Chain A
Amino acid sequence: MKKNDFIFIFLVLLVLAVSFPVIKNTAKGGNTVKITVDGKIFAEMPLSQNCEIPINNTNIAVIENGSVYMKYASCPDKLCMHQGKVSDSSRKIICLPNRVVIEITKKSEIDTVVK
């Protein structure tokens, strides 16, 4: 290990020290489950309502007792199923093969905006 290595490691740790709280702080409590597929909103459901949401025959998300988890995924690695239950916006469930993102947001007071 050379001196430059330690400078590099220091810089990386600095980036981590800055980025970690930034990402943590974007986390706030929410009341709506937002499911996006391919970057487009697929469904928005209240977190309080227990239900099963099939997503395009590829995934099944379940809302249960104020948290959401992925019950089924068609991809081989099933990483999103292992990501567990999510109840606030500090964590997301991401299924990369099927391009599904499940996150918890705060629903605004405005229902829809007519353009």
Chain B
Amino acid sequence: MKAARITYIAILSALAVVFGYIESLFPLPVAIPGVKLGISNIVILFALLKMNKSDAFFILIVKVLVCSLLFSGINSFFYSFSGGIISFFAMILALKLGLSIIGTSMAGGIFHNLGQILAASVMLGSFSAFYYFPVLVLSGLIVGGITGLLCKTVILRLK
């Protein structure tokens, strides 16, 4: 592994963790579990577009592990993990299908929430959590659109 690549992975992992921290400071005033901004997804999407899949995956794993250990408690690890993984593969698929950065981010947001619903269904042992399905799909779409726009802006500025 080249030093430059290691450095990039380290910087982006740190950035993703910081975004996760900032987000934990400002919980959205919505009483629905799973609705959040997901700004650290900007970093994952950026890594997917500008680096390669394995690097982006590594950053995702570091982010999920460190964030749930430091800020949100081990309880949330299972949710973030399944959400993160499903969202990651959804974004790769979205890029393959020729979606733009914003569309890819929307897919990421929606499937992150879907992954959380699935994790909750396993944890609760019932499908009660699917009650939140429409709300979480809509919030994933909106929030994913916002973070996708931010990611696009970042990529344009870095040229």
Q: Is the pairing of A and B real? A: yes
A: residues with CB less than 8 A from B are 1-2, 4-5, 8-9, 12, 15-16, 19-20, 23, 36, 38-40, 75-77, 79, 82-84, 91-92, 94, 96-97, 99, 101, 103
Q: Is the CB of A16 within 8 A of B134?
A: yes
Q: A20-B134, A91-B131 are in contact. List 10 more A-B contacts (CB 8 A).
A: A1-B103, A2-B103, A4-B103, A23-B133, A92-B128, A92-B131, A94-B124, A94-B129, A96-B124, A103-B128
Kindly list chain A residues whose C-beta atoms are within 8 Å of the C-beta of B110: 12
Give Cα A49 to B107, complex, Å: 46
Chain B contacts for A2, CB-based, 8 A: 98-100, 103
A39 contacts across to B, CB distance below 8 A: 124-126
Least CB distance from B119 to A in Å reads: 9
Most A CB within 10 A of own CB, among B27, B31, B100: B31
Q: Does B138 contact A (CB under 8 A)?
A: yes
Complex Cα gap A20–B138 (Å): 11
Q: Given contacts A19-B133, A79-B33, A96-B120, are A9 and B103 in contact (CB under 8 A)?
A: yes
Which residues of chain A have C-beta atoms less than 8 A from B97's C-beta?
4, 8
Kindly state whether residue B137 has any CB partner on chain A within 8 Å.
yes
Contact with A along B3-36 (1 / 0, CB 8 A): 0000000000000000000000001000111000
Q: Give complex CA distance A9, B105 in Å.
A: 12
Q: How far is the CB of A115 from chain B (nearest CB, A)?
A: 21
Q: CB < 8 Å: which of A16, A38, A82 contacts B31?
A: A82
Can you name the residue of chain B whose Cβ is closest to the Cβ of A40?
B125
Is the beta-carbon distance between A9 and B79 smaller than 8 angstroms?
no
**Is the pair B128, A9 in contact by a Cβ cutoff of 8 Å?**
no
**Interchain CB contact under 8 A, A8 and B134:** no
Q: How far is the CA of A38 from the CA of B65 in the complex (A)?
A: 25
